[in-house]
Structure 1
Amino acid sequence: MVNILRAIDSIVSNDIPDVVNFYRNQNKINAVGDALELFIKDIFANTLREANELKKQEVYEQVFSYAGNANNPPDFMLKSGDAIEVKKLQSETAQIALNSSYPSAKLYSSSPMITRTCRDCEKWDEKDLLYAVGCVNKQKLSSLWLVYGDCYAASHEIYQNMKVRIIAGINQTAGVEFSPTKELGRVNRVDPLGITSLRMRGMWHIEHPQKVYQYLNLPTKKTNQNFRLLTLMRESKYLSCPLADREKLESIDNSNFQIQKVKIKSPDNPVKTIAAMLIQYQT
């Protein structure tokens, strides 16, 4: 079964391409973000070097159960596996825009933010959510973070409670006619004629993983460094992957590749720590 460890092996086994020109030369993209998303799909499908589009599509159908759209999470889902959300940035100091979807430790089929197609693409209730955060600078992918939501985001209740408190505050404001929506809500009949409404939408942001996990003494990017990969997952997630995939990664003889056990702060309670695995690779 396709998993995060096989995706890491796909990166290590292939030269990291100049992602924008790599896909632009194949007439596949119009925007830089499209190139990063295709790259993430190809590392999971192990199709980086597959030039035949029909063969690649056949592999995609075997690997993925859902390919998303620009307005609803996730960007794609592995069959009986993870949901993946891709985020493109130009700097590792920039915050990540999540728009109307707050950070998620997991993806649930009951979420009002996903489409019916996503909900019905396979039989599922809950999926591990992987954030793939790529820094694309001057047409090149300089860094890629693969971090799981349960290492990164607090529980659903934390964000939902904040949303409820905001809605309650607006709803209790005198003279405001409030209607709930899938977003924050809508205020109706704003003007004397009652013909204008105000749509309220949350715009969520989260700090870049490079900043969030700096307490792990992460190395900063070197001037002569082309690319670096950092993957963070709970130790239990790592151990749930097939033994053969773990042994293959652990046998990599490359001074630029490292697997280490770390302790990370719990997103729900920072005085508690979680056993995790940090995998690093650089070229």
Structure 2
Amino acid sequence: MIDQAATNILKAIKVVVECGIPNVIDFYRSENRINSVGDALKLFAKDIFADSVNINNLHQKEEAHRKVFSWGGNANNPPDFMIKGGDAVEVKKITSTKSRIALNSSYPSAKLFANSPLLLSECRNCEDWQEKDIIYCIGCIDGKDTNQRLSSLWLIYGDCYAASKDCYERIKATITQGIQAISNVELSPTNELARVNKVDPLGITNLRVRGMWDIAHPATLYSYLNLDSNQKSFPKSFQMIVLMTASKYNSFPNLDKEYIELLKHQKHIGIRDIEIKSPNNTMQSILAKLFIYEI
């Protein structure tokens, strides 16, 4: 088992490669009575970070999670879980890699900040933190597959995927200010874009203005990397892609990096040092680490 407060994305890669990929939906339905496809994917994501995929006893599984996570998630507030002293993880389920990813009221995040109004106070106070790197864990469970198998899993850091929060906050603030500029309206404080009260003469109708954000799948964003170039020569049933900046990769413990580097010699595994476009300036590039596992 992983020691307390010692898990990270490189250990999660190790778990996936060594344990194999279960039929996620059937596996969690049978062992833990999970009915929702999305809930099953979230539990699988927690298990690969906590090295608890093969723990069948629900109580023991929860104990393993408590050792490494400071926040276990909430249905209506990000993130889905946070590693003690480490990264935050947001899990998203899609049915096709061509699908856009619904973020609902949360705009894309390069980093997670403790002062975000979308976080619950329990999340802010679960450990001493101000800022965390965030991993988007995006699982594709093909809606046309009657077995509902996990066909792809992306683990991508927010700073490889999203612009800085100023980019999104500017748009959000402009919309809110435009609504506030409407004459003769009664506004209430809200974490949404705006809330207008007593719209009609009787004063019985309110208007809630909510942001509904979505973002392209990373496979679309990174199509220039030719990630499917070997699809014809090697048909695959599962693909895991992990992307992070080179500086993030270098920040991990040497022992974990040594394991990852040894994987270069295994079949169906590729590790590349690459350059990606900066989410904040397409004229600039960022040194990054790309990991691909296919079976």
1:203-282 aligned within 5 A: 203-219=212-228, 224-252=235-263, 253-282=265-294
Gaps of 5+ in 2: 1-5
2:191 equivalent in structure 1: 182
Which of 126, 129, 134 is the matching residue for 2:134?
A: 129
**How many residue pairs were aligned?**
283
Which of 21, 27, 31 is the matching residue for 1:16?
A: 21
1:85-234 aligned within 5 A: 85-137=90-142, 138=145, 139-219=148-228, 224-234=235-245
What secondary structure, in the 3-state scheme, does the structure 1 residue paired with 2:72 have?
strand
What secondary structure, in the 3-state scheme, does the structure 1 residue paired with 2:136 have?
strand
What secondary structure, in the 3-state scheme, does the structure 1 residue paired with 2:249 have?
helix
Q: Could you report, residue by residue, the CA deviation over 1:191-248 in whole angstroms, capped at 9, with x for unpaired residues? A: 1111211011100000000001111121165684110000000000000011110111
Contact 1:170 1:178 in 2 (8 A): no
Partners in 2 of 1:181 and 1:50 — Cα distance? 42
Partners in 2 of 1:50 and 1:190 — Cα distance? 55
Q: TM-score scaled to structure 1, two decimals?
A: 0.97
Partners in 1 of 2:203 and 2:59 — Cα distance? 55
Q: Could you report, residue by residue, the CA deviation over 1:146-181 in whole angstroms, capped at 9, with x for unpaired residues? A: 000011000011100101111111222234333341
What secondary structure, in the 3-state scheme, does the structure 1 residue paired with 2:204 have?
coil
Partners in 2 of 1:35 and 1:27 — Cα distance? 9
What secondary structure, in the 3-state scheme, does the structure 2 residue paired with 1:249 have?
helix
Structure 1 residue 98: deviation in Å?
0.4
2:3 equivalent in structure 1: none
Partners in 1 of 2:30 and 2:112 — Cα distance? 34
Q: Could you report, residue by residue, the CA deviation over 1:10-55 in whole angstroms, capped at 9, with x for unpaired residues? A: 0010121110001111143111111111110110011111123333
Q: TM-score scaled to structure 2, two decimals?
A: 0.93
Structure 1 residue 258: deviation in Å?
1.0
What secondary structure, in the 3-state scheme, does the structure 1 residue paired with 2:79 have?
strand
| Letter paired with 2:141 | V
Contact 2:176 2:193 in 1 (8 A): yes
Which of 42, 48, 68 is the matching residue for 1:43?
A: 48
Structure 1 residue 102: deviation in Å?
0.5
1:68-87 aligned within 5 A: 68-87=73-92
Partners in 2 of 1:57 and 1:197 — Cα distance? 42
1:2 matches 2:7? yes
Contact 1:105 1:154 in 2 (8 A): yes
Partners in 2 of 1:64 and 1:131 — Cα distance? 16
Partners in 2 of 1:55 and 1:69 — Cα distance? 21
Partners in 1 of 2:236 and 2:13 — Cα distance? 18
Partners in 2 of 1:27 and 1:242 — Cα distance? 33
Contact 2:32 2:58 in 1 (8 A): no
Structure 1 residue 107: deviation in Å?
0.5
Report percent identity of matched pairs: 53
Indicate the RMSD between aligned Cα atoms, in angstroms.
1.3
Partners in 1 of 2:95 and 2:85 — Cα distance? 32
Contact 2:179 2:194 in 1 (8 A): no
| Letter paired with 1:86 | V
Structure 1 residue 188: deviation in Å?
1.6
Q: Could you report, residue by residue, the CA deviation over 1:110-144 in whole angstroms, capped at 9, with x for unpaired residues? A: 11000011011111111000000000122100000
